[in-house]
Structure 1
Amino acid sequence: MMIRRKKRKKARSRISPGMIAVIAGLVVVIGVLLFVLLYNGREEVTSRGTMLFSLTGRNAVIIRDEAVYLSSEYARLDHMKEEGADTSPGEALAKVYKLGYNDELMQSLLNAREDVYRAQMERIGSTKDSRLDEMNEAIAGVKARIEDCVMLGSADDLEQLYRLLENALAERMDYLKSKVQETETLRALYSAVEAKEQLIGTFTEEVASKDAGSVSYYFDGYEQAMNAEKLNMLSADLVKRALSDSGASNRASDDRTRVCRVVNRNEWYLAFLTKGDELDRLAKDMEYTVDIAGYGSFTGVALEPILSGKQVVNVIRFTDDIGGLIDVRTVKADISATAAGIAVKSRAVIIEDGEYFLELLYSDAHYRVRVDVLAADEETVILRPHDSNETLSEGVRYWNRKRR
């Protein structure tokens, strides 16, 4: 009898659920590590470095430390100083002719002074007087210039010349008054001149300086919003509007309440915009060289940048003489500086809510510190701590992200 043996079935190896969980966990950990190392970043060490900061061809606005002089609405304004002339408290800046005044009143006064002159000359006769000859020659010169201005239609110069003529005629009348014995006719003529002066006086007001500085009659509508006293109110929208209105400046403003400005020549500012997510804003208290096209080179110190929406308003303060920029609003500028500080990889800088941060590594902890970027290129950033109480030196570990 044959005995049949039963074939043994091979036992199948089974992986327990616990082992699967362990393997899956290892895969996740390895994946995370690979992601961190290959995608998110790696550890670096700070060093010291220098770099040239440079921005070229930036559209910028000029902001001045200035006092704006206003009056009630006027019909005419006479400038009593040249544009850019120095002034002190108490000095006359302009003569305002109120509404209701017209040039016929001034012409009537000039005619009355001429009547006085003719009557005075009848008393003097042919007596030679070199001083009088000089006055007459000066008056004739002003009249000739007035005729030229009328032909050319230069209103600003014409107003100034009429004021010169009125002053010259008044000086001549007073000079001859001391030389000629008064008669009934002259007394009546003097009274007529005085009455016309009083009438004009009811329409005129002299604006005197309350400040020391340089006078300017240039207005563009931004002299009050863009003023040294309102720097903390600057916004990106305001700067953009001023830049877009660069052709709207007008020395003889259509607003007939503005008289003039008295400008501090040794305190003024330049403002321009940068993007909030870029590394090219200015650093507070850092010194910059600014080349302004057509006006020369200046050295100034940056104020705290102003975050305004998605942009940054950068402001530089100057104490150099303002020169020809006393009546200019918009310019094109190149800004440069040599930056020295802590060097890190550019991607290590974190931009969050418009502020810059660097993530430092201390033992197993990460510590985020706010920083100022002094200069940057595609690879490297030169920076410093934003808070003066913070310290940051070379040899400190930080986290360099692969992507910003």
Structure 2
Amino acid sequence: MINVGKNLLKILALIVILVYLGKLLFSTYKGREETAVVTYGNVVIDFETEAFVVKDEMIIKAPFDGKVEKLAKEGERYSKGEPIFRIYSSSFEEDKLNMLKKVEEKLKEQDFDIPFYQDVKKIDDMIKKEEKNYNEMLKQDEKSAQKILARIEVLKAKKEEILNKAPSVLRTVENLREQKEYLEKYISENSTTVNAPEAGIISFTFDGSERVLNSKNMFNLNVSHLSTVNFDIKKVEGIVKEGDFVCKVVDNFDWYLALILSEEQAGLLKEGSNVKIFISDYPAELRGKIIKIYKGDDKLYVGIVKMIDIYPEFYKKAKIKVKVVLKEYWGMKLPFSAVVTENGEKGVWVLGISSKPVFKKIDIEGTDGRYVILKGVKIYDKVLIPKKGRGD
């Protein structure tokens, strides 16, 4: 009877201990009803901000008052020395252009296989050569210049003699050639053709950023001043005044972004590090390198990014919205809320086959605050997520 009583006491004691342990276990894991499954994925560390496009460009101004004729197409690249625009003086007679066009069309209709044509052409070439010699000699020796002038008159007389005995069509051709030469000379003397001083993208569009957003000034940008710049787009057309902006040649290899940064964002960047840039209206990823971070005013910072990849629209942009990707981690992925600290060690509670939670230590590779890439778990592991207030 005594033994029965002792056994009963042992059984009751065991029940009490099991109840206590059950309560302790329930207390320890209560609130961890939510779970998450480990997947393979990525976490991106990024932020969005405003950026200004900095270009290495050369501005060409009007040499005098006049009217601009564009010879280059907007947004296309031209080599050094290629004609990009022509400017006609304000007194230029535009009908001379139409007259030249008509004369050239009439000349194309002529048959040059006529007697004495080559003789007259040869004399014309000799006259031009002597006229050039005369103008040069006139600056040195007037007496010698007069001798050259006399030779010119002899050549003209010889030409007239040939024209008198040649078919009438030759005089028609010669008159057209003389008209063409006169018109070409008039146009040349009353206009200037401007060639590209360097190779680059040609643009006749200005937005007011040219004096501020340039490669010479990019390390001294003031954020407060940038906010006051009026980016009004102006396309150069027709009449211009001397000194007006006409055209810009934009280096299509070197371009930069000036990122406007909060103190927190500036702290995430490091000079010399690589970043990825996504522009709001462009689908492709662009690579860049941080070359300078500095204070832009009392509150904000400026981060200068030298761009590696080409953004086709960069030459006509001044202000854009961008997403800056600092780093991307790949691996085992969980919600950051699944990570807890137990006895000073980071880990997660993994549910085993028996659904009993097992604490596993982890190494955190990276996190964006919402998700975490970690080591120490396997794909498809089921992990407990504590309620708010538990864990760290």
Give the structure-1-normalised TM-score. 0.50
Indicate whether 1:209 and 2:196 are aligned. Answer: yes
Partner of 2:236 in structure 1?
252
Indicate whether 1:294 and 2:284 are aligned. Answer: no
8 Å Cα contact 1:265-1:323 kept in structure 2: no
Indicate whether 1:309 and 2:301 are aligned. Answer: no
Equivalent residue for 1:194, pick from 177, 181, 197: 181
Percent of aligned positions with the same letter in both sequences?
Answer: 18
Partner of 1:60 in structure 2?
51
Indicate whether 1:71 and 2:86 are aligned. Answer: no
Deviations 1:125-171 (A, max 9, x none): xxxxxxxxxxxxxxxxxxxxxxxxxxxxxxxxxxxxxxxxxxxxxxx
The verdict on how the C-alpha distance between 1:218 and 1:112 changes in structure 2, with shifts beyond 3 A counting, is closer
For the residue of structure 2 that corresponds to 1:270, the secondary structure is strand
Partner of 1:324 in structure 2?
313
CA distance in 2, matches of 1:255, 1:117: 31
For the residue of structure 2 that corresponds to 1:335, the secondary structure is strand
The verdict on how the C-alpha distance between 1:98 and 1:108 changes in structure 2, with shifts beyond 3 A counting, is closer
- Structure ID, larger Rg: 2
Indicate whether 1:85 and 2:85 are aligned. Answer: no
8 Å Cα contact 1:219-1:251 kept in structure 2: yes
* Structure 2 stretches lacking a partner, 5+ long: 1-41, 113-166, 330-365, 371-392
The verdict on how the C-alpha distance between 1:193 and 1:338 changes in structure 2, with shifts beyond 3 A counting, is same
Give the structure-2-normalised TM-score. 0.52
The verdict on how the C-alpha distance between 1:237 and 1:279 changes in structure 2, with shifts beyond 3 A counting, is closer
CA distance in 2, matches of 1:332, 1:279: 17
The verdict on how the C-alpha distance between 1:69 and 1:308 changes in structure 2, with shifts beyond 3 A counting, is same
Q: 1:285 Cα shift?
A: 1.4
Partner of 2:381 in structure 1?
none
Q: CA RMSD in A?
A: 3.5
For the residue of structure 1 that corresponds to 2:198, the secondary structure is coil
CA distance in 1, matches of 2:369, 2:107: 86
8 Å Cα contact 2:259-2:305 kept in structure 1: no
The verdict on how the C-alpha distance between 1:302 and 1:278 changes in structure 2, with shifts beyond 3 A counting, is closer
The verdict on how the C-alpha distance between 1:82 and 1:119 changes in structure 2, with shifts beyond 3 A counting, is closer
8 Å Cα contact 1:288-1:336 kept in structure 2: yes
Partner of 1:95 in structure 2?
86
Equivalent residue for 2:102, pick from 92, 99, 114: 114
8 Å Cα contact 2:81-2:195 kept in structure 1: yes
The verdict on how the C-alpha distance between 1:117 and 1:251 changes in structure 2, with shifts beyond 3 A counting, is closer
Deviations 1:174-199 (A, max 9, x none): xxxxxx99632332333233222222
CA distance in 1, matches of 2:212, 2:198: 20
The verdict on how the C-alpha distance between 1:200 and 1:266 changes in structure 2, with shifts beyond 3 A counting, is same
For the residue of structure 2 that corresponds to 1:214, the secondary structure is strand
CA distance in 2, matches of 1:318, 1:119: 53
CA distance in 2, matches of 1:209, 1:231: 25
Indicate whether 1:267 and 2:259 are aligned. Answer: no
* Structure 1 stretches lacking a partner, 5+ long: 1-49, 125-179, 341-374, 380-404
Task: Read off the aligned partner of 2:236 and give its amino acid letter.
Answer: A
